[in-house]
């Protein structure tokens, strides 16, 4: 399976600021996704990061709040904009290679104060 790294691993941010999370994969992958996991909850898909084009967002998530970039097949960023305490969560990058099986990065633990 692909090796996925995320930066930062955790951060504490003030409300109103923005944080960009990076996801790096050690091999080219066809699909990359961004998920959120709030405390005690399961995973919720934010968007599919499309290489060279705009991301595809799920219901309840918008580009202005969660801009995503994917400049190539091994890298993507997710920005959490104008943060509020409700954005405190774990943000996970995920990739799929060919088959249906999907793998997750170690996550970024965000706390907004």
CA neighbor of 42 nearest in space, from 105, 89, 99: 89
Compare residues 18 and 62 and give the one whose CB is closer to other proteins: 62
CA atoms within 13 A on the CB side of 1: 12
14 near other proteins, judged by CB under 8 A = no
Measured from the CB of residue 16, what is the shortest distance to other proteins in angstroms?
27
- CA 6/CA 15 separation, integer angstroms: 22
Complex with other proteins: residue 100 or 113, whichever CB lies closer: 100
Among 36, 107, 110, 112, binds other proteins (CB under 8 A): 107
């Amino acid at each position: 399976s692909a090796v996925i790294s995320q930066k930062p691993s955790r951060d504490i941010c003030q409300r109103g600021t923005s944080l960009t999370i990076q996801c790096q994969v050690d091999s080219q992958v066809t699909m990359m996704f961004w998920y959120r996991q709030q405390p005690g909850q399961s995973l919720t898909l934010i968007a599919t990061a499309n290489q060279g084009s705009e991301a595809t967002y799920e219901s309840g998530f918008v580009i202005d709040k969660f801009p995503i970039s994917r400049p190539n097949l091994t890298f993507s960023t997710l920005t959490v904009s104008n943060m509020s305490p409700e954005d405190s969560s774990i943000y996970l990058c995920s990739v799929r290679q060919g088959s249906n099986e999907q793998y997750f990065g170690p996550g970024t633990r965000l706390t907004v104060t």
